[in-house]
Amino acid sequence: MRIRYWRLGISEVLKAKYPVDKVNHWEIKCMLGEYQHFGVFWYKYGTPFDKEPIPGICLYYNEIPHTTVEEIVQLLHENFGGNIQYRQTRVFLRGSMEFAAADQVGMLANQLSLKFNSPAEISIEFERITEEEKLQESLSLPASKALPIVGPD
């Protein structure tokens, strides 16, 4: 089964110990105002760019100044590399370093939160989670923030 943990705080993620190979997707969302926000995310199987999936981390943004977008892109590029590609309100770092470990996701969320003076909210989606793993809380994330995802794994 697939499970998505949402609205996680940085400390919850930093304390988590989950099987990295079962992470399907993670997202860090930072709110800069009522409608101004950005998110950094990663998909295990690549993020669609037209019809082609692109490996690496990505950024989306809404109603934030271009200078702030460039600061975020620069921070991500310096830390994770990749070829920068712009597409409307998304930025792809093709071939950037990919990661899904709790400490890495939590540290990036903390870095973004501090640099841009913005609260960070994290979502992590897992695939191929057994009922036993779910019941034993082997993902070490709050059960109250878990949402089962209907459909094939």
pLDDT, tens digit (0-9, with 9 covering 90-100), for 105-120 = 999 999 999 999 999 9
**Separation CA 38–CA 56 (nearest Å):** 17
pTM (2 d.p.): 0.94
Return the C-alpha torsion angle 53, 104, 135, 151, nearest 10.
Answer: -10
CA distance 10 to 38: 16
Quick check: 138 pLDDT over 90?
no
150 pLDDT higher than 70: yes
Q: What is the pLDDT of residue 117?
A: 96
Whether residue 135 is predicted with pLDDT greater than 70 in this model: the reply is no
Above 80 in pLDDT, residue 133?
Answer: no
Helix (H, G, I), strand (E, B) or coil at 86: strand
Give residue 20's pLDDT.
95
Q: What is the pLDDT of residues 68-93, one digit of tens each?
A: 999 999 999 999 999 999 999 999 99
Q: Reduce the DSSP state of residue 104 to 3 states and report it.
A: helix
CA 118: distance to chain centroid? Answer: 16
**Helix (H) or strand (E) run with residue 93 in it:** strand 90-94
Confidence of residue 153 (pLDDT cuts 50, 70, 90): confident
Tell me the helices (H) and strands (E) count for the chain, helix number first. 4, 10
Of 137 and 116, the one with more pLDDT: 116
pLDDT beyond 90 at 151: no
| Cα–Cα dist 129/139, whole Å | 9
Answer whether residue 9 shows pLDDT above 80. yes
User: Running DSSP on this structure, what letter comes out for residue 144?
Assistant: G
Residue 147: CA count within 13 A, CB half-sphere: 9
